[in-house]
Amino acid sequence: MKYDTQKFKLIKNQEIATGIFDWVVENKELPALAKCGQFAHVKVPGKTLRRPISICDATDTTLRLVFQVKGEGTEIMSKMKVGDEVEILAPLGNGFKIEKGKKYCFIGGGIGVPPMLYTAKQAENPLVITGFRDKSLVILQDDFKKAGAEVVLTTDDGSAGIHGFVTDVLKERLNEIGEVCACGPIPMLKAIAEICKDKVPCQISLEERMGCGIGACLVCACKTKLNGEEGYTHVCKDGPVYNAEEVVL
């Protein structure tokens, strides 16, 4: 795995839904190395620890990062200006493995939706199921359509799209799906893993509080079950993407 820390230039910063910001950052070298499901570790001015943000999309010279303001770090990021320099360590982690000729279903819940965009771009005619709490948080629907995906929108309160959960749609469409890839809150991932168990392979991307991002500080431990044995691996280095049956959720 090749990664590095370099200066990027912020070339777009736009609020695309309530408290959710769309960044595009430019650098000549690192974006070309990015694979779907990997993440960028962003140095926030005035903060010691970096903030991990999934790669939402990439070109040879740009990374797109979509983030929700949660605390001080992301608040500072939301206020940065186009033209500002940002130091980013990227691309980190192991992403989704996408095979040719399979019918993929990509599922994103809330702020777990952004990494599914670059991932959906790696597959042919994918089904994308996105779920949000309500219509004020809906993001990236047109981007998925432009990428050639069939995109289904659900909201918990029915204020946009189908009234219900992503899992309702997954259950209905399971027989046409060859593999599932998902990112979002743990209860959603747990329910998806349960539906897929013994039926279709399922990869899930975990978010765990992390420090260094490269497996040195061991903060982001995650309980896993490999070859029947329970143990711990680290989300930053061994993940964030795992086969669902390997994770003790």
Mark residues 205-234: x for contact with ligand FAD by CB under 6 A, - for none.
--xxxx------------------------
Question: Which residue's CB is nearer to ligand FAD, number 23 or number 165?
Answer: 23
Question: Which residue's CB is nearer to ligand FAD, number 72 or number 124?
Answer: 72
Q: For ligand FAD, how many residues bind (rule: CB under 6 A)?
A: 21
- What's the min distance (Å) between Cβ of 19 and ligand FAD? 9
Tokens of 123: 């597959």
Rounded to an integer, what distance in angstroms lies between the CA atom of residue 207 and that of residue 239?
Answer: 9
| 114 binds ligand FAD, rule: CB under 6 A | yes
Rounded to an integer, what distance in angstroms lies between the CA atom of residue 52 and that of residue 67?
Answer: 10
Mark residues 57-96: x for contact with ligand FAD by CB under 6 A, - for none.
---------xxx-xxxxx----------------------
- Cα–Cα separations (whole angstroms), residue 9 to 36, 43, 53, 81, 87: 21, 13, 16, 10, 9
Considering only residues 162 through 201, tell me which ones interact with ligand FAD, judged by CB under 6 A.
none
| Bridge partner list, 232 | 223
One of 49, 200, 214, 249 touching ligand FAD (CB under 6 A): 49
Rounded to an integer, what distance in angstroms lies between the CA atom of residue 239 and that of residue 150?
Answer: 27
Eight-class DSSP state of 149? -
Tokens of 141: 């629907």
**What ranges in 27-151 are assigned the alpha helix state H?**
72-78, 115-120, 141-146
One of 25, 30, 34, 53 touching ligand FAD (CB under 6 A): 53
Q: What are phi and psi of 147, to 5 degrees?
A: -80, 0
Question: Which residue's CB is nearer to ligand FAD, number 2 or number 209?
Answer: 209
Name the site residues for ligand FAD (rule: CB under 6 A): 39, 49, 51-54, 66-68, 70-74, 111, 114, 207-210, 240
